[in-house]
Chains A and B, each alone.
Chain A
C-alpha cells in the first residue's frame, strides 16, 4: 500500500497543497472567522431599541408609565421631543425605531377613570424586529394596565385576585436561551463541507486542465479512480480538519455543546461529502475555466442554502418548494446534524433522513466519476 502508485500520487497532491500555504490557511480560517462573527452578531434578543419620547402630559402618571418601558431594559430613550413631526423625522432618518407619544390629559384621565391613550409608532421596515418590538410594548402596556386596575379595584374595596385569570408556565426545549449558534453551527458545518468539496475540488481539477498538466496525468499508469481519489483526498482531510476546528471553537469559546454523538456527526459528514465531491467532479467536467467553475458552484450552492432550511424554515415555504426540498441532499444533512446537535437523538431516530442522503451521494458520485473517466479517455 505504502509504495503503491496511489500513495505517491496522494503524496504529490499534498506537497502541491502545502506549497500554497496561504490558500490552505484561508481554507482553514474562513469558516472559523465566519463562526466567530456569527457567534457575536446572531442574537435573537432585540434590545437597545432606539426610542423617541413625546410626553405631552408630563404628569406623575405619564412619567411612571414611561419608566416601566425604561425599566424593561429593551429600550434606549435617546430622544425627547416636543412636536409630533420630530418623531416622524427621527423615524424617517432611521435614528429611532420606536416613537411613544403620550397625549395631554393622560394623568387626568387615569385619575378620573377614563381611558387615557398612548400612541406608539414602530419602524416596520425590518418586519421581524418590528413584530418583536410590538410584543414587548404590548406586554409592558398590559403590565401597567394590570397595576392600575388592581389599584382601582382595591380602592373600591373588592378583592383583586381575579386579575390574573390564567398563569402560564412556558418552557423552551433544546435551546432554552434561544442561542442562535446552536442552530447555525450545524449550518456552518454543512457549508464548509459543500464549499470545500465542490469549489476547491472543481477548481483544482480545472487548474490542471488550464495548465495542460491533465494530459500528463492521463498518460501516467494511474487508473482514473486513483486519479480522482488522489485529487479528492486532500480536500476531504482539510474539510474534516475544519470541522474539528469549528467544533472546538463552538464548545470552548461559545460554550455550545453537542448533545449527541460526535462520532455520528463525523460519519454523516463524510457521507454528505460524497454528494459535494461528486458535484465538484461533475462541475470540473463541464467547465473550461476557473471562473466558470466558480460561478457554476455558486449557482448550485446558493439555491440549496436558500431552500434547505439553512436559515429560513422549510415549514414556511409554499408547498411546491417544500416538495422540491426533498431533492436537495443538504436538507437531509441539516436535519440530521441539527438533531444530533440540539436534541441529542441517535441515528435510529433519523434513518428517514439518512437513507436519501446516502442514495444521493452514491448516485451523484458514481455518475460524475463515469463522466470524468469518459472525458479523460
Chain B
C-alpha cells in the first residue's frame, strides 16, 4: 500500500512546490491572522467615551463621575452644557455612554433621600454594550454600598455587611480575552486551511482532465484519498506548531497541558477537516462551487457553531444538536482544556473519542463518495 501511496503524496507535494506562492501563503496566512488577532482583537472593553451632563456640579456629583473614570473603563470626553446635545453625541458616536445628573443630586443625597440619575447607553454594538452595562452596574453597586456605609458611620454605628461574596475566577484570572481566543483561533485557522487546501484537489483534476490518468492507474480509492489528504495534513500540522509557538511565546497565552496530547488531537482533527474538503471536492461540479461549499461547510460552523465566539449552551436546541456532529466543537473544547485548564485525556476522553470517530467517519465517507470512473 505504501508503495502505491507514496507516488500520490509525492505528486501532491510537487504540485505544491511548483506553486511557491500558495505554499508561502499556507504558512504566512495563519501567522498573519494570529498576529492580527492578537493585536486587534479584544472584547475587553476599555476607554468607553463618556459624556456627562452634570447639572448639579457639586462635590458629590463630581465624586460620583470620578468613580466612572478612575479605573480606565470610561474616558470622560465632554462635559455638556445642555441636554439638547445628548442625541447628537450618541448619533455622531462621540460618546457612547451619557451620564445625566439632575441639579438636586447632592441635595437629595444629603437629605438621605434617593437621588435619581439617568444613564444612556449606545446599544448599536450589543456585545460591547452588555460589557459596558456590566461595568456600570458594578460601579453603581459599590457606590451604593459605600454610601450606605457612610450613612451608618455618620449615625455612629458601624455597619457589618450581612453577606460577603468572595468571587474567584479560575483559569484566566485577569479575564484576558486573548487567552480565550487564541486556542479557539487555532481551530478556526486549521479549518480554514483545510477548506482552502483540499477542496480543489479532486475537482481541479476533473477540470484539467487529469482525472483520466488517475483512473487508469492501479491506485486504489482509499490510497488515492489518503495520498491527497496526507500532504496537507502535514503542512497544517506544521501550522499548528507555528501558531501555538507564537501564541505561547509571543502573546503569553498560558499553556498548562500536554504538548503530546495537543499534537495528537490536532492530527486527528486535521484528518477529519481535510477529509471534509476532499468530500466537498468529489461532489462539486466546478471549482467555484467547491470553493463556496467548502467555505460554507467549514468556516461557518467553525466560527459560529463551535463555541469560538458564542457559547453553545445559549443556542437554540436544534442548533445545539447540530454542533454534536461538528469536529470543530470537540477540538475547541480540547484545545481550551489543554491551554487554559491543563487537563488531559482523563477529563477530555469524551470529546477526544467523539473527534476520533467523526474524523474517521468523514474520511471513510470521502472514500465512499469518490467514484473511480469517468462520468
Contacts and interface: CB of A to CB of B under 8 A. Distances in A.
Given A26-B293, A46-B311, A345 B119 contact: no
A218 to B, nearest CB: 21
B163 A141 contact: yes
A30 B170 contact: no
A312 B116 CA distance: 34
B314 A120 contact: no
A349 B114 CA distance: 39
Interface string A34-71: 10011011111111111000000000000001000000
Contacts of B147: 165-166
A259 to B, nearest CB: 11
B80 to A, nearest CB: 16
Interface string A279-307: 00000000011111011101100110011
B39 A318 contact: yes
Contact of A37 (B25, B179, B305): B305
B32 A303 contact: yes
Interface in A195-251: 195, 199-200, 203-204, 207, 210
Range, interface on chain A: 35 or more
Interface stretch (A168-176, A357-365, A369-377): A168-176
Contacts of B287: 203, 207, 290
A65 B163 contact: yes
Pick the 5 closest A-B CB pairs, nearest first: A135-B134, A165-B147, A124-B172, A175-B123, A124-B169
A343 B123 CA distance: 10
A117 B161 contact: no
A342 B42 CA distance: 23
Contact of A125 (B92, B165, B180, B304): B180
A123 B167 contact: no
Q: Which of B37, B292, B313 has the most CB of A within 10 A?
A: B292
Most buried by B among A124, A163, A204: A124
A145 B291 contact: no
B169 A26 contact: no
Given A131-B134, A176-B123, A313-B125, A116 B29 contact: no
Nearest to B122: A173
Contacts of A82: none
Contacts of A183: 124-127
Contact of A299 (B25, B166, B204, B316): B25
Nearest to A341: B124
Interface string B198-213: 0010001001100000
Interface stretch (B51-59, B138-146, B219-227, B365-373): B138-146
B265 interface: no
24 contacts: A23-B286, A26-B293, A34-B300, A37-B305, A41-B305, A44-B130, A46-B311, A49-B313, A113-B160, A114-B160, A122-B170, A125-B171, A127-B176, A152-B162, A161-B112, A161-B113, A167-B114, A168-B118, A195-B295, A291-B19, A298-B29, A302-B32, A306-B37, A349-B91
A141 B165 contact: yes
B69 interface: no
Contact of B121 (A43, A172, A338): A172
A4 interface: no
Nearest to A309: B125
B291 A121 contact: no
A367 interface: no
A148 B144 contact: no
A268 interface: no
Interface of A: 20, 22-23, 26-27, 30, 33-34, 37-38, 40-50, 65, 91-94, 110, 113-132, 134-135, 137-139, 141-142, 144-145, 148-149, 152, 161-176, 178-180, 182-183, 195, 199-200, 203-204, 207, 210, 288-292, 294-296, 298-299, 302-303, 306-307, 311-313, 315-318, 321, 338, 342-343, 345, 349
B41 interface: yes
A125 B340 CA distance: 7
Contacts of B163: 65, 110, 115-118, 141, 144-145, 148
B32 A299 contact: yes
Given A94-B333, A114-B160, A127-B180, A166 B347 contact: no
Contacts of B37: 306
B145 to A, nearest CB: 7
